[in-house]
Structure 1
Amino acid sequence: MYNFLIFVTASASILLCFLLLLNKVPERFKKMVFSYAVVFFLLFCASVYLSPDVKHFTRQMTAKPDSRDIEEQAETKEDVPILKKEQALLNVPIISQLPELPRGCEVTSLAMLLQHAGINTGKMELAQLVKKNPTRYQRKNGQVYFGHPNSGFVGDMYNINNPGYGVYHKPIKELADSFLPDRVVDLTGKDFSELEKSVSNGIPVWIITNTWYSELPAEQFQTWDTPAGKVNITYRLHSVVITGYDQDYVYFNDPLTGEKNRKVPRQGFIDAWVQMGKQAITYL
């Protein structure tokens, strides 16, 4: 019905205007014809406005998104699984911690991660910026009293002859956050498959491991008293950047040897990482 009215009113209005333009209307009827043309034009506009099809289209164009639709879209986006490839290998800049930072594997590995993210920084800058634990080394009655590595870097990073140890993931994540606000992801405590998913998605992963890349025997550990409580530590502590994996091996950049995409047996590497507390960070 509305489509018919639109057609009739539009046709009548156009016809009358056409006659007026061609001067086919006698002078005494021009005002009347012009009035009819205006009336038909107004009827045409009303027919268009009242048309159900046009009103539906207008509502679609101007309506605000329903909050439920937004929530459903967000849930759908979050629920999309990140599939892990069978194998992956990334090109991550290799940086050696030596000779300047004999205990600087953690900040050197972080420098590799940040450079892969496009951040222009280096190991020496990060060594200055990383949070330090001010607790001094003491040994009384055979018991060591020193700092907790999750409270800041413990000891001397630059001189191996002075007491020192290293740093765990919390201060490293805090430092990474300052370069990549709202982009750093703490994977500590997750299953190793989550680390592989990150690598599969093109992003390397910073981790804490040991220099044997396998589970250490109990005699390689000792207990310290710290202001934050007791902590089990090993002087085999190490940090690397995971750059790849396959069915049999894990690949990583080793800041101690300066070797890029070094590979070690997969299960031993996972066991060492688990033993050191499943510490890992990456970025979005």
Structure 2
Amino acid sequence: MEWIYTLILVISVMIYMGFRNLRPIVQGIAILFTIIIALTVAIYFNHEKLVIAITNSATEDAPVIETKEQDAHYYEMIKIQQQVLINAPIVSQFPELVRGCEVTSLLMLLQFHGYEADKLILAEQLAKDPTPYKVVDGQIFFGHPNTGFVGDMYSFNNPGLGVYHKPIKELAERYAPGKVIDFTGSDFTAVQMYLSQGLPVWVIINTTYKALPSSAFETWQTPNGSVRITYKEHSVLLTGYDENFVYFNDPLTGEKNKKAPMIEFIQSWTQMGSQAITINPNEL
């Protein structure tokens, strides 16, 4: 900035020399005018310097906020394979856990990653919603699957349903703390991304593996609000896909790498809230 002040000094001298033969009062006015110009220029450049400093400071101190674009860029870095088939252990939920497809699918996920677990112990450790089943004025009152397992997991002799992703994620964290990823609500591209990395995915669908009619659902009143459920709710462990099919280990049938049409399966999964959990051993 020194050159600015040198230039102001030169201009001031030139103006003074130009008016030196004028009467004193005119010379005084010229000198005052020169001083005003010099101060104006100096204030302007100092202001610009201050604005630049504040802008730079704001840029450096501002928090970094992850955006959807950043997430999309991250997904682009993961190459989604055209077809995937993962060799994960198969475990049947029967005969002990007639409604225990969710914990059995979790067991397969845990065993794939080398964790020692047992389906009966998982069933015992899983959070429960103890709300009793009752019907009042035609309305059903029961538990909420995102609070804990609803009803009887061991027998069809008593009312029961199952459990959703939140209690399953909490249970998985007991075995793989800090490595459980609950990406419920994502689209199926996220599922393919994890499968492409060799990571099986726990999901909630229904026993038909395709979208259900609205008549298959009913609404319950629970301590945590109303919830729309279907008794066809089911859980499997996704192990792969290709152009037309998805592959999964099914605890209901005991079939390894069972296949279903991809489009229908995705519709079923989306209808049940796009619930999905995986375990990434590389997570910090």
TM-score, with length taken from structure 2: 0.72
Matches within 5 A, 1:1-284: 79=74, 81-284=77-280
Q: CA deviation at 1:197?
A: 1.1
Between stretches 140-149 and 107-116, larger displacement belongs to: 140-149
Identity of aligned residues (%): 57
Runs (5+) with no aligned partner, structure 2 = 1-63, 65-69
Counterpart of 2:112, as a letter, is: H
Whole-angstrom distance in 2 between the partners of 1:209 and 1:134: 24
Query: For the residues of structure 1 that align with 2:189 and 2:242, how far apart are their CA atoms?
Result: 12
Deviations along 1:195-237, one digit per CA (max 9) or x if unpaired, are: 1111110110000000011100000000000000000000000
Q: How far apart are residue 90 of structure 1 and its match?
A: 0.4
Instruction: Return the offset for 1:141.
Output: 1.9
AA aligned to 1:148 is H
Match for residue 65 of structure 1? none
Deviations 1:106-162 (A, max 9, x none): 000000000001101021110000000010111112211000000000000001110
Hey, what's the Cα distance between the residues in 2 that align with 1:213 and 1:92?
20
Give the partner amino acid of 1:218. S
Length-normalised TM-score, structure 1:
0.72
CA RMSD after TM alignment: 1.5
Paired residue total: 210
Take 2:254 and 2:267, find their aligned partners in 1: how far apart are those partners?
23
2:5 is matched with: none
In 1, distance between residues paired with 2:149 and 2:259? Answer: 28
